[in-house]
Amino acid sequence: MKKLVAMLMIIFSLFCSSTVVSSAAVDPAVVLVNPVSLSTVYSNNLLISVKITQPKTIKVKVFVERQMVNGTLSAINVDTLTISNGTINSETFQSTLISDPPAYKSDNNLSFYTKQINDLTPGLYRIQIDTLDAAGEKIYTSKSYVEVKEKTAEADAKIFDKPQSGTMQFLQNLLNTIFGD
């Protein structure tokens, strides 16, 4: 029973906490839950999850961001990016669309859109969520960036070694208590 309550607490906290980085007006009823904006994913795929809290129609697009280096389009070195007020200056980026599924319509007051994008290479990716009106025109747009890196044994070992604060520290301690080291 304790494990069930703990897992419900974890799921509830994940659904209630989110961060969205945007360059235009953001729809408060449409929130990117996963991956967290400005985070790093150690995998060759992304699981995108969007929480929708009103009847809405959305379109989720995924772009790989490249930059011109010595006349060649190259993956962006995330370590050299400047982040100001939670946003990335993307003026020099060249975006390539890698996922453009059809629009998703929700008729409920709470629903989730999920999509897995596979076979990604290391680099910077932009997730763009457009809220559409009845005519299919954009009324809100939010953009979130995520870095994809190769999965390595060293990255796996460091997941719980990094100092955490706040909610993440609480969740880490809770998981360690429930499942052990």
Distance (Å, whole) CA 148 – CA 45: 8
Cβ neighbourhood burial of 124 (10 Å; 0-12, 13-18, 19+): buried
Distance (Å, whole) CA 17 – CA 31: 10
Q: What backbone phi and psi angles, to 5 degrees, belong to 133? A: -85, -175
**What local confidence, expressed as pLDDT, does residue 20 receive?**
39
Q: What backbone phi and psi angles, to 5 degrees, belong to 173? A: -65, -40
- For residues 146-167, give the mean pLDDT: 66
pLDDT digits (tens, 9 = 90+) for 127-145: 999 999 988 889 999 999 9
Cβ(43)–Cβ(156) below 8 Å: no
Tokens 């453009």 label which residue?
A: 100
**What local confidence, expressed as pLDDT, does residue 179 receive?**
73
Q: What backbone phi and psi angles, to 5 degrees, belong to 59? A: -135, 125
Position with higher pLDDT, 25 vs 94: 94
pLDDT digits (tens, 9 = 90+) for 13-62: 555 544 333 344 788 889 999 888 888 889 888 899 999 999 999 999 99
Q: From residue 172, how far is each of 55, 97, 176, 179, 181 by CA, in Å?
A: 34, 35, 6, 11, 10
**What local confidence, expressed as pLDDT, does residue 174 receive?**
72
Distance (Å, whole) CA 2 – CA 18: 26
Please name which of 96, 86, 156 lies closest in space to residue 123, comparing C-alpha atoms. 96
Cβ(126)–Cβ(65) below 8 Å: yes
